[in-house]
Every structure is written in C-alpha cells, then in structure tokens.
Amino acid sequence: MGEVFAGRYELVDPIGRGGVGEVWRVWDRARRRYAAAKVLKQSHAHTLLLRFVREQALRIDHPHVLAPVSWAADDDRVLFTMDVVYGGSVAHLIGDYGPLPPRFVCVLLDQLLDALTAVHAEGVVHRDIKPANLLLEATGTGPPHLRLSDFGCAMRKGEPRLTETNYVMGTPGYFAPEQMAGEEPDFPADLFAVGLVALYLLAGRKPDAEALVARFLADGVPPPPDEVPAALWDVLARLLAPDPVLRFRGAAEARAALAAAVPLLPPPAAGDERIEVFDQIGPLPPGFGPEGPQGRDVRAPHGPLGAPPRPVPPPMPPTPPRPVGPPLAAPPAGQARHAPRSRRPPPPKRSTAAAVLVVALLCLAVGFWALSAA
C-alpha cells in the first residue's frame, strides 16, 4: 500500500514536476478514481507557498483548462488534485513527430485560444504559456484534445505581485516585449506567447523571440517563414506584434481570425503521416489496477478529510450488578463535598491538526501577500 495523504489520497507513483511542486498519481478514496496531485512542503520558500495557494484557489470549469479540483493538508505538506492527463505535452508530440501539419496545429491553437478565452474572462493572466504547459489527452489517432495547465505563475489583474517589479515571471523564450520591460501583466502577453507556441509547433524548434521582435521593429511585418502558410501567417503576425495595442483585442477575436484562415490552407498531402497521441505516463505499478488498489478492500472514507472508518470493537461482556450498600453519609457541617477531578481532554485528532495547519498556512500566505502589497 502506498502512503496515504490526509486519510484520503493514496500516493501511487510520481509522474512529473510542476512549477511549484512534485506531481503524483494518487488514488482518491472518496471519489474512487485516480487523480494527479501537486504536492508541496511547507519548508519551501514562502513565495512558492503563496503561488501554491493562488493556484489551488483557481476554479475554471472548461474542457480545455486543467484546473484544481480539491485540496488537503497532512503534517508539513499540502496538495491539490486535478484530472490525470495521459498524453504528455505538445513538447512530447514534437519529440515524436517533429514539425506538425498546419491543419493539426490549427486544431491545437483553436483549443488553446478557447481555453484562454475562459481564463481571461475570469480576469486571470496565465503568464506562462509554453509547450510544456499544454497537455494532451491520449486520444490516439483521433482529434487531439488540449488542456492548458500549470497556473502557478498566473495572477488576476489588479492583484499585488509576489515578486519585485523588475522581476519577470514565466519561461525565458516565451516572454512578450512588455513583460521584459517589467510592465503589469495583461492579456495581450498571453496572446504573444500563443504566437510563439504556434511557430514552435510548425517548425519543430523553439523560435528566437528576440530576433523575431527585432525583425518586426526594423522592417514591419516580415514575410512568412518557410514552414508557415501565408493565410496562417496573417494570424500569427498579429499575435506576434511587438506593440500589444496592435495584437488582437482578445483570445476570442484571435480564434475567429484563425477559423477564417483554416479554409485557405492547402489540403493535407496524401502521404502525410497520421499524428497519434500516445499514453506518456505508463502503466500502473504493481498492486494497482484500473479500478483502484488490488487485493484489498479500500472503501469510500468517512469523516473529516476523508479519514477511513475506524474498526468496530467487539462487544464487551456484561458487567455484573453492583451490590447495593447504605447511602453515603453527608459530610460534616461546614465541610463541602469535593467534586471528582475532571479528566484531561484527549489529544486533538490528526484531522483537526491538519485543518489547523491549513488555516495557519493560509494566514501566513495572506500576511506575506499583504507585506508584498505594502
């Protein structure tokens, strides 16, 4: 049996690392299904804890957004869970196939822009759009299904920063020019990163963002790269405009322009290889099957934080009747009868300690947040 976290989540095997912690496959005893769990220790830097709190608080219900579902705390660790996405990231896809066909790329871009439309509608700037954060369901040779993940760097517009003003959050190589200049995070920066991701998918290599911006500034809109059809380049060039004012006004507008460009793309060649999205996580370790742990009965938990039910003790033998004696004599006049000493209260339950730990963590997060805002 794997380690059980907070009496509910059984750690099965590590499946990756996120921006703010390890990612494990876990068996959720309450929902009776597998989930992905991001785990962080309290000993990590306070800024990571604050980002962890921000990410677990995000709740966006959208088919192309991978947002947290639940959370728990145990001893010195906290976690939040989300769906398991088995197909790896688009970076795995490039590793398997190299440059992807333009029409296949347009399907991925449409889903990414659909996800960003929902994220931006909540007032959230993702700030870390990159291939490794674009996960794929294992759909085989069927239509791909993209999930935008890892909101550890995300922030709502108007919220105080968790870093210094001149410190840039995100991944080098996918920054918008205004991010590099230290301006406040805004939605157009996410759109610029979408344009860079599109070039990566079409060329099979990471684009040189600084050189690209320099070409735009020196010559205006440059001609399309060899890998990009002209109709698609009209959309990407507007996403990649160095001036955020010249980009699309939002992800929905960019998605509409992309839909208009798709019919103008050349048809697929007869000999083009079919793209297949494989299962990148691999089989379950011994002792676990598709329906959960094998060879033992792990029932749905009950009680706080999903603690498993305690075993029912066997019935106690009947107590023989006590002999009836004379009534107790009253104490002498002027002398009070002392009440029996009260027993010491039992130690707090593990679930109570975990709940107190979470409250303390959130108070710590709010305190550091307030200090950073001041």
Residues 290-319: pLDDT tens digits? Answer: 999 997 655 544 443 444 444 445 555 555
Percent pLDDT > 70 in the chain is 69
Q: Which among 42-46, 170-174, 225-229, 302-306 has the top mean pLDDT?
A: 225-229
- Give residue-wise pLDDT tens across range 66-108: 988 888 888 778 888 899 999 999 999 999 999 999 999 999 9
| Burial (Cβ within 10 Å: 0-12, 13-18, ≥19) of residue 25 | buried
Q: Enumerate the domain spans of the chain.
A: 4-84+353-373, 90-264
Of the candidates 288, 361, 299, the residue with the CA atom closest to the CA atom of residue 74: 361
Tell me what pLDDT residue 75 has: 79
For the segment 3-34, what is each residue's pLDDT rounded down to a tens digit? 899 899 999 999 987 656 689 999 999 999 99
Name the pTM for this structure: 0.76
Class of the CATH domain delimited by 90-264: mainly alpha
CATH architecture for the domain at 4-84+353-373: 2-Layer Sandwich (3.30)
Average pLDDT over residues 364-369: 53
For the chain, what is the HEC assignment?
CCCEECCCEEEEEEEEEECCEEEEEEEECCCCEEEEEEEEECCCCHHHHHHHHHHHCCCCCCCCECCCCEEEEECCEEEEEECCCCCCEHHHHHHHHCCCCHHHHHHHHHHHHHHHHHHHHCCEECCCCCHHHEEECCCECCCCCEEECCCCCCEECCCCCCCCCCCCCCCCCCCCHHHHCCCCCCHHHHHHHHHHHHHHHHHCCCCCHHHHHHHHHHHCCCCCCCCCCHHHHHHHHHHCCCCHHHCCCCHHHHHHHHHHHHHHCCCCCCCCCCCCECCCCCCCCCCEECCEECCCCCCCCCCHHHCCCCCCCCCCCCCCCCCCCCCCCCCCCCCCCCCCCCCCCCCCCHHHHHHHHHHHHHHHHHHHHHHHHC
Token representation of residue 165: 């003003």
Residue 335 confidence class, pLDDT cut points 50, 70, 90: low
